[in-house]
Structure 1
Amino acid sequence: MDTLDHTDKRILQLLQQDAKLNTKEIAHRIGLSVTPTYERLKKIEKLGIIRNYVTLLDPEKVGKTLMAYCNVSLQLHSLPLLRKFEAAVMNLEEVMECFHLAGNYDYLLKVVVDDMKSYQYFITQKLATIENIAQVHSSFVMTEIKHTTAFQL
């Protein structure tokens, strides 16, 4: 983060709010001309600070009305088995996020599906087929209170 100055951070804040902003719009908002703004943006991209530009969808408007968090415990914890589990999870389209944890569980999965029937299918026909799972504990989201993708810089 030492390579970013105040202007770079302002550029990143703007892009986190609206990734569709073009270089000219960003330059106008931060008070620079287009060329130095473009050069700063390319530097930020080259450093890998910006991973990707995406479009965030409203889950309900695309029929994804059930969100669950699955705490997964594995039976054995050898590195090959951990990697095998992680590779299998990467191929599950219902899993939006996966975290390897320290604590009571080994992994936390954020799962988004159409409905409870779809979730049951996911658990029984997809997740349960992955070798080495000992337990799965699910928590269902009733109401989303806060959701942000922007980091405070």
Structure 2
Amino acid sequence: MQELDHHDKKLLSLLQQNNRLTAEELGEAVHLSASAVQRRLKRLRDDQVIQADVSIVSPLAAGMRIMCIVDIILQDGGSRELGKFKSAMRDCEEVMQCYFVTGTYDFVLVVNVRDMEHYEAFSTRWLMDNPNVKHFYTHVVMDRVKTGYNLKL
């Protein structure tokens, strides 16, 4: 991966705020031609510096009224069991984010559900009925104070 220069960093900062800006608009902002911006963006995507171009959908608009943070301790932390759990979480539509972490817990999940009945069904299927889940602790989010992925460049 190439080192990011000041033009790359400025482009990435602008795109983190609005990825619908045109190459012409970006070029004006960073003092490059539209074709130079397009070449840079292609390189940044090819190098996986830009990992995705997405639209972030409001969980409320999708009917997901409750967000939970779930801390999980596994019974068996061997590589095979860790791999099985990671794979299961990748397949679970309620899990928005899954982190394998150090410390007291093995995993931290961010889960979106419609209501508590939906969370109960999720936790029964994916956690309670999983023989390798030793304990899990649920934190129901009361307020999304800050969410985002913008990196300071």
TM-score if structure 1 supplies the norm length? 0.94
Query: Shift in Å at residue 77 of structure 1?
Result: 1.1
| In 1: Cα distance, 2:126 partner to 2:2 partner | 43
Query: Shift in Å at residue 2 of structure 1?
Result: 6.2
Aligned partner of residue 61 in structure 1, secondary structure: coil
| In 2: Cα distance, 1:131 partner to 1:49 partner | 38
Which shows bigger deviation, 81-90 or 22-31?
Answer: 22-31
Alignment correspondent of 1:79: 79
TM-score if structure 2 supplies the norm length? 0.94
In the TM superposition, 1:2-151 aligns within 5 A as 3-151=3-151
Query: Shift in Å at residue 130 of structure 1?
Result: 2.7
* Superposition RMSD in Å: 1.3
State the number of aligned residues. Answer: 153
Write the letter of the residue equivalent to 2:143: T
Aligned partner of residue 110 in structure 1, secondary structure: strand
Spell out structure 1 runs of 4+ moving beyond 2 A: 125-131
Which shows bigger deviation, 98-107 or 42-51?
Answer: 42-51
Write the letter of the residue equivalent to 1:99: Y
Which deviations, in whole Å up to 9, do the C-alpha atoms of 1:76-134 show, x marking residues without a partner?
11110110111111110000000011111100010001111111111112332333110
Write the letter of the residue equivalent to 1:77: G
| In 1: Cα distance, 2:97 partner to 2:138 partner | 14
| In 2: Cα distance, 1:130 partner to 1:21 partner | 45
Aligned partner of residue 96 in structure 1, secondary structure: strand
| In 1: Cα distance, 2:127 partner to 2:8 partner | 42
Structure 1: gaps (5+ residues): none
Structure 2: gaps (5+ residues): none
Aligned identity (percent) is 33
